[in-house]
Amino acid sequence: MAWLVAGLGNPGDRYARTRHNVGSMVADVVASRSQERFRKVRFIPLDVAETRAGDELVYVAKSHRYMNEAGPSYASFAKKRHVDAAQVIAIHDDIDMAFGSLRMKLGGATGGHNGLKSMQSALGTPDFLRVRIGVGRPPGRQDPADFVLEPFAKGEVDEVRVIIEEAADAVLSLVVAGLETTQNTFNR
């Protein structure tokens, strides 16, 4: 059985270190742990690194499209590689969770997250796994869209590195140990 890990984020250097790109950052860590490089997929705007977790084949992917348009890229790849929606893991930021928190779940609402809306629409179901990384609420009356497109504050950078490593551990645990075990180990 194959798995697809979708590191949600926006392409380009401008967004590389922003809150909205934590999913992409985690995908980078998952691929680098097995020393795999991302390669462009033919006819799909996606970069994919192929690795293994235990005996399972894992495709780690990052879209060339902006997050709110990326769902079709992931869904097309999943269909082409015969990956069922239940074996898709979307990694994403969540402003409704405290900074530094980590939660795994299967399905559910999108919470207004445009990347999840795009994934849900393209996959035709909300029933895919999610690794939610808390980035906190914007201060004062700042627009949430502006907040998630800002880089992490200098005081947050060290903790972000730890969170990203833990989220990568959680992704691999989902593949090898399943949802319930991973939730019991990583949800906080």
Global pTM reads 0.97
**pLDDT the model gives residue 131:** 98
For 58, counting Cβ atoms within 10 Å of its Cβ (0-12 exposed, 13-18 middle, 19+ buried), the class is: buried
CA distance linking residue 75 with residue 90, whole number of Å: 11
Residues 78, 98: Cα–Cα separation, whole Å: 31
The catalytic site residues sit at 20
How many angstroms separate the CA atoms of 22 and 133, rounded?
A: 7
CA 80 to CA 116: how far, in whole Å? 20
Q: Report CA torsion sign: 166, 171, 174, 179.
A: positive
Please report the pLDDT score of residue 188 as a whole number. Answer: 76
Rounded CA-CA distance 83/104 in Å is: 19
| pLDDT for the residue numbered 157 | 94
Tell me, what's the pLDDT at 1? 84
> What is the full per-residue pLDDT of the chain (188 aa) written as tens digits?
899 999 999 999 999 999 999 999 999 999 999 999 999 999 999 999 999 999 999 999 999 999 999 999 999 999 999 999 999 999 999 999 999 999 999 999 999 999 999 999 999 999 999 999 999 999 999 999 999 999 999 999 999 999 999 999 999 999 999 999 999 999 97
Domains of the chain: 2-186 (3.40.50.1470)
